[in-house]
Amino acid sequence: MKVTQNNSEKIFWDPIRIPSGAPITMSGSQGKSLPKLMVWLILFVSATYVVYTLKLLSSSPSCDEDIFLSRHNSIPLQKNDTASITSSKISPLQLGEENEEKTGLKHMVFGIAASAKLWQKRKEYIKLWWKPERKMRGIVWLDSHVKTYRNESGSLPQLRISGNTSRFSYKNKQGHRSAIRISRIVSETLRLGMENIRWFVMGDDDTVFVTDNLVRILNKYDHNQYYYIGSSSESHLQNIYFSYGMAYGGGGFAISYPLAKALEKMQDRCIQRYPGLYGSDDRMQACMAELGVPLTKELGFHQYDVYGNLFGLLAAHPVTPLVSLHHLDVVEPIFPNVTRVQALQHLKIPISLDSAGLMQQSICYDKMNGWTVSVSWGFAVQIFRGVLSPREMEMPSRTFLNWYKRGDYKAYAFNTRPVMRNPCQKPFVFYMSKARMNYGTNITVSEYTRHIVPHPKCGWNMANPAEVDKVEVLKKPDPLLWNRSPRRNCCRVLESKKKSMVIDVGECREGEISEVLTTKT
């Protein structure tokens, strides 16, 4: 091979002229030292690689684990990593919780407190909401045996006699010792050993539940935790005498399964410590206090410690699902000119169409006539002459009387407003007469007929709502209503024929509000 070197000390190779097997030589000192340097470099790298490999093998438990740890600690989790991470880091219990089905009626058991003396009358209330076809489970706990009928076996829960409570002391002179028996219903029901129970629901024999809404409420809570869910009395004095932290048993309350287990272990000892308490629900709350579990309030459980007409309360129902109604023997029928049971049977029509929207209030204004309109869906529509603000309309009007005869409007546990004294502002009330589903449009059509009662003469120069005979309300069912943040539905008065009014009710549109209009009278 011919090698030449120019003035820049660059070396040029001519590979074409190298004979096969001939040694490669270089002129000068570089040609002698370069091969030796390369040999030593190769030996050093090889030795370093061997040492590193032996050290790695001796310090690693397994190759697979090393790869896993390296990926887990330094590489973001990718979709194809899910299986390996799950098997190593997530327990079967956690996976089960993620895939667990929602709470339904089959996961509840009802404990109904009943009296043999009143059973023949009050069992009719239970028949209104009990749904054996949906595999509901429950026990009616009585103080003594009652007469039963074969044709009722499928329309009522199982009947049982409560355990003997004579060993417990009861010292309240104003109450009755049956309170001890009733307070033990949850524990006695637990001891029956029913499977797949998440919630124990208490109620009285004159309590009516809207079961779909009960399911909606309980699905908000983790049944594996300690929960005591219910509501207070409408009477401020009742809550003062007993407790604002107590769930009233007539309105109903729910206890999670783990809490029921903890209660059952200590309840009999707890009861012995409170012989002076009045009722069953305050005994229950005393035991909850010892367990350290506060009341979780849900305003849809209604004790209704009032007398008279519930209209004002129902027409301005709070923005929450209606779960229960109580004291139905004390108040007037919720629909006029029918019995109490018939009125509640009538309420089952809107419940079957859209239970989530039952009794929910919407407030809007008829611009043409200068009227305020309030819709309590599935129950009633009110039309007022003039403009009343939403702040005013969402307060219940005092159509009912206080539980204590001496109590006035300051003795309620919520804001109320007086019944209108101005003859021109007395509301025209339209009660729901019928309702149906238009399956072509998936919209409910409910009709409300004017309640004919004398109205005082009004001197205002404006349209008279007495000219309206019926109101038709269009509303699309919204089963996911309570999955969103609480908000009243909006309503819109539509064009309609003479002697009728058509109202559209539904979720508020973007920017839509119940805006107060100014009118001249």
pLDDT along the chain (521 residues), means of 10: 41 37 41 55 65 51 39 38 35 49 96 97 96 92 94 91 96 95 98 97 97 97 98 95 96 98 98 97 97 98 96 98 96 97 97 97 95 98 96 96 86 93 94 96 97 90 94 96 96 91 95 72 44
Please, what sign has the CA dihedral across residues 487, 379, 301, 155? negative
380-385, strands of its sheet edge to edge: 361-366, 371-376, 380-385, 428-438, 443-450, 470-475, 500-506, 490-494
Contact partners, residue 213, CB within 8 Å, separation at least 6: 300, 321, 322, 323, 355, 356, 358
Q: Which CATH class is domain 357-506?
A: mainly beta
pLDDT for residue 35? 58
Neighbour-count burial for 354-388, b at 16+ CB within 10 Å, e otherwise? bbbbbbbbbbbbbeebbbbbbbbbbbbbbbbbbeb
Structure token digits, residue 80: 């194809």
Q: Is 224 left (phi over 0), alpha (psi -120 to 50) or beta?
A: alpha
CA–CA gap between residue 325 and residue 210 (Å, rounded) = 9
Q: Which residues of the chain are in CATH 2.70.130.10 domains?
A: 357-506
What is the pLDDT at residue 13? 37
- Give which of 433, 339, 358 is closest to 124, Cα–Cα: 339
CATH 3.90.550.50 maps onto the chain at 105-303
Domain 105-303 in CATH 3.40.50.1220? The answer is no
Cβ atoms of 429 and 448 within 8 Å: the answer is no
Q: Could you give the count of Cα atoms lying within 13 Å of 494 in the half-sphere of its Cβ?
A: 13
Query: What pLDDT does 497 receive?
Result: 84
User: What's the CA gap between 184 and 212, in Å, rounded?
Assistant: 26
Q: Which pLDDT value is given to residue 74?
A: 36
**Token digits of residue 508:** 């508020």
Specify whether the CB–CB gap between 21 and 37 falls below 8 A: no
